[in-house]
Amino acid sequence: MKILTRIARFVWNQKLVTLSIIILVAVVASALLVHLIAPFDPYAQDLVLRNKPPLTPAPGGGIHLLGTDPLGRDELARLMLGSQISLSVSVASVVISGLFGTTVGLIAGYYRNWFDDIMMRLVDLQMSVPSLLIALLVLYVLGPSFVNIVLVLAVTRWMVYARVSRGLMLALREELFVEAARSLGASNFRIIVRHLLPNLAAPILVLATLELAVMMLTEASLSFLGLGIQPPESSWGLMLAEGREYLTSAPWLVAVPGIAILLTTLSVNIIATWFRARTASTSAVRGGEEKITSEVEI
Amino acid sequence: MTDNLLEVEGLVREFAVRGRHQNVKAVDDVSFTIARGEALGLVGESGSGKSTTARCVLRLIEPTSGTVRLNGVDITSLRGRELREFRAKAQLVFQDPYSSLNPRMRVEEIIAEGIRIHRPRVKDAEVRDEIVALLEVVGLRPDHLTRKPAAFSGGERQRIGIARALAVNPELLVCDEPVASLDVSIQAQILNLFQDLKARLGLTLLYIAHDLATVRHLCDRVAVMEQGQIREIGTRDQLYNDPQAAYTKALMAAVPRPDPIEERRKLAARRAALTGATP
């Protein structure tokens, strides 16, 4: 019962966060269970029912809650199918870029040697070129596929983690508890893994949640521009692109995936902000949190 | 000279300073010895090179030149396993009890670290027993084990730091102004703890401080440092009763006395000296 009251208090105090969690859980659930819970087959076409507005009754019973697309497919079912790709692309690319970038920043910031110099110049170099441009170029050459998109997204964003983790590392390595560990005879590996990484985890996790939204939007842009997910697969960005032609006659085709992107990224951001506020008090690095927000704005 | 645990000879440490042609000598030809079981106080104002000396002795920074011998072994050239073995013999207690404890680790993990590094085969239960014993030595309770440093006061944190240093059974304990950032009432407790440890465990202490009062309480011999050099070194009674170097005398004169009349007289003398100097 104690847990229930705690949950109730959390819901009451953090209404926005609760709502965000609910939205996110709904999105994840619909991605995982499309074929079980979708009201219609997302691939079933019916040209008679082209571009029907929301709440149109279906001839076979039921209602097309969010209308239908130009091929007469149920928009809600398409949205759920699209969330699969949108979510998996963004999560996978965040994990890859986060692991790679953090490792680079960790090593660069700890040793501050030639590796640091090379990597940070590389980061500067990449920061000076718009990442979407690089992504477009690479995808144009390699051809769009799920794996390529994930890799390209990861490659365009790794430096964010590298910079943040290096910056945190520069502050952390001067902490006395690192010197204490060294005087106890701890190896560099032990110091990094046992002492520094745990202090890095919270800010990096916050950054990752923010990046999740960035990745989702970038994937949407790529798909919108035609170099992302290809039909008949679907992602929210692609749905947006496909609906653009019918903007005047069937505006819900753009509004539905657009609102989905908006709500999901907003939810992620709200949860990230809440998490950041919660962990800031136990952080070993003062000012580390500010660093992250400024990094993301770049 | 028979049983010296630590022998420091001609220790020099230079730092490069941006915009300056010459390196700054933070430690400039420092030599001293500490006998086994002895406590040597190293006194001097901020920037006199005390902490740098301590960190060279522990090989936390590399000395520019000079030798540091522990048990007759020069530790300035140790590498790999030998260096790791040395790490268990000499330990450090920090000035700042806040940043010297990892905020993400529980007290148990903090104290256990030295045991895990130097005796990795010891079983968890035995490590725990050792830690509980250590906590008792430094005056903490076993139920403190699962808490994180944030739950403790400065004095308690310093005790945790001392327990961490003692966990590897060091012969030499270097204390870098361990009470400077504590309340006066807590200072006395920690000083008594050091005295107790010295007597009970036969620890050899290199005790760094910038005030003479705490050193007098604890140390057998005292060295006075100024601008990277040792100005005077001698037994406690020698130094306090009959200071030789001008700098030592100045330091002694700066110690406030619990006698308002005496203090007023000193202040007047200082003012007189000042006005006398101005033309």
pLDDT for the residue numbered A97: 93
CB distance from B147 to chain A under 8 Å?
no
The residues in B 193-232 lying below 8 A from A, measured between CB atoms, are none
pLDDT for the residue numbered A228: 79
User: In this structure, is residue A241 part of a structural domain?
Assistant: yes
- Asked if A195's CB is within 8 angstroms of B102's CB, the reply is yes
Number of domains in chain A: 1
B23 secondary structure, DSSP code:
P
The residue type of B14 is E
Instruction: For residue A193, give the CATH number of its domain.
Output: 1.10.3720.10
If you count them, how many residues does chain A have? 298
CB distance from A286 to chain B under 8 Å?
no
Under CATH, domain B4-244 is a member of which superfamily?
A: P-loop containing nucleotide triphosphate hydrolases (3.40.50.300)
- Asked if A184's CB is within 8 angstroms of B87's CB, the reply is yes
Distance (Å) from the C-alpha of residue A140 to the closest C-alpha of chain B? 46
- Asked if B104's CB is within 8 angstroms of A185's CB, the reply is no
Q: Where are the domains of chain B?
A: 4-244, 248-279
Local structure of B67: helix, strand or coil: strand
User: In this structure, is residue A106 part of a structural domain?
Assistant: yes
- Asked if A199's CB is within 8 angstroms of B84's CB, the reply is no
CB distance from A186 to chain B under 8 Å?
yes
Of A153-162, A163-172, B83-92, B252-261, the one with minimum mean pLDDT is: B252-261
User: In this structure, is residue A15 part of a structural domain?
Assistant: no
The rounded percent of chain A whose pLDDT value lies above 90 is 7
User: In this structure, is residue A12 part of a structural domain?
Assistant: no
CB contact at 8 A, B90 and A187: no
The answer to whether residue A280 scores a pLDDT higher than 70 is: no
Provide DSSP, chain A: -HHHHHHHHHHHHTHHHHHHHHHHHHHHHHHHTHHHH-SS-TT---GGGTTPPTTEEPTTSSEETT-B-TTS-BHHHHHHHHHHHHHHHHHHHHHHHHHHHHHHHHHHHHH-SHHHHHHHHHHHHHHTS-HHHHHHHHHHHH---HHHHHHHHHHHHHHHHHHHHHHHHHHHTTSHHHHHHHHTT--HHHIIIIIIHHHHHHHHHHHHHHHHHHHHHHHHHHHHTTSSS-TTS--HHHHHHHHGGGTTT-THHHHHHHHHHHHHHHHHHHHHHHHHHHHHTT-SSTTHHHHHHHHHH-
Q: Express each pLDDT in B101-149 by its tens digit.
A: 888 888 888 888 888 888 888 888 888 888 888 888 888 888 888 888 8
Which one has a higher pLDDT value, B257 or B142? B142
- Asked if A198's CB is within 8 angstroms of B104's CB, the reply is yes
User: In this structure, is residue A47 part of a structural domain?
Assistant: no
A182, A183, A187, A286: best mutation site toward chain B, by most B Cβ within 10 Å?
A: A183
A168, A184, A189: best mutation site toward chain B, by most B Cβ within 10 Å?
A: A184
pLDDT for the residue numbered A93: 92
Q: Quick check: pTM over 0.80?
A: no
Q: Express each pLDDT in A120-170 by its tens digit.
A: 998 888 888 887 888 888 888 888 888 888 888 888 888 889 999 999 988
- Asked if A181's CB is within 8 angstroms of B99's CB, the reply is no
Distance (Å) from the C-alpha of residue B251 to the closest C-alpha of chain A? 29
The answer to whether residue A40 scores a pLDDT higher than 50 is: yes
Provide the pLDDT confidence category of residue A101 given band limits of 50, 70 and 90.
very high
Q: Express each pLDDT in B26-78 by its tens digit.
A: 888 888 888 888 888 888 888 788 888 888 888 888 888 888 888 888 888 88
CB distance from B81 to chain A under 8 Å?
no
pLDDT for the residue numbered B81: 82
The answer to whether residue A96 scores a pLDDT higher than 90 is: yes
B275/A166 Cα distance (integer angstroms): 55
With CA atoms as reference, the chain A residue closest to B118 would be: A185
Say which of B58, B103, B118 has its CB closest to residue A183: B58
What is the ipTM, given to two decimal places? Answer: 0.81
Angle at A116 between CA A113 and CA A118, to 5 degrees: 110
pLDDT for the residue numbered B277: 47
Total beta-carbon pairs less than 8 A apart between chain A and chain B: 64
Q: Express each pLDDT in A217-228 by its tens digit.
A: 888 888 878 887
Say which of A184, A198, A284 has its CB closest to residue B113: A184
Arithmetic mean of pLDDT over chain A = 82
CB distance from B105 to chain A under 8 Å?
yes
pLDDT for the residue numbered A281: 53
CB contact at 8 A, A151 and A237: no
CB contact at 8 A, B115 and B105: no
- Asked if B105's CB is within 8 angstroms of A176's CB, the reply is no
Q: Which residues of chain A does B168 touch, with a Cβ-Cβ cutoff of 8 Å?
A: 184-185
